[in-house]
Amino acid sequence: MSSFHLQIVTPDGLFYDGQAESLNLRAAQGGLTILPRHTNFVTTVGMGPAKVVLDGNARTAACIGGMLSVINGEVRLIATTFEWAEDIDRERAKSALERAEAKLADASLSKEEHRLAESAKRRAQVRLSIPQA
Ligand code: ATP
């Protein structure tokens, strides 16, 4: 199967560096699948599940936003956070969801606090939506 070079970078460093057969994630325009020989392309990435096919095996991850570029066949995803399904701590995500929901129930929140709590809620929901590996 043909493949392309994929790098996934997070604020913690180089998360993945190797060949991939496909990458599917939520881009600004909606669902996006990158296959070998994709045209040059840059997009923002939203929060959602991501699927990477490596050596014929699909791996799923939670991807919390970022940017994706395809330049001359080199695919680079710069993600705010990226966690393989098996690395997601579900109890932690449930606690984060509860904390965010409790915050959102507080009518005295400022607009900015509300936005931050909504965003934390969405991150936890995305993590919990990823099937356990
Ligand atoms: P929390 O309140 O639990 O920290 P958060 O959504 O605020 O959740 P982030 O700021 O998105 O956390 O991520 C901080 C770091 O912690 C990142 O490296 C991210 O990959 C990791 N992380 C956050 N939540 C989880 C989780 N449920 N399982 C595994 N890693 C997580």
Which residue has its alpha carbon closest to ligand 1 atom 5? 120
pTM: 0.94
Residue 5 DSSP symbol:
E
Pairing between strand 4-10 and 74-79?
parallel
pLDDT tens track of the chain, all 133 residues? 799 999 999 999 999 999 999 999 999 889 999 999 999 999 999 999 999 999 899 999 999 999 999 999 999 999 999 999 999 999 999 999 999 999 999 989 999 999 999 999 999 999 999 998 7
How crowded is the C-beta side of 25, counted as CA atoms within 13 Å?
Answer: 30
Give 89 Cα–ligand 1 centroid separation in angstroms. Answer: 9
Pairing between strand 41-54 and 57-71?
antiparallel
Give 2 Cα–ligand 1 centroid separation in angstroms. Answer: 34
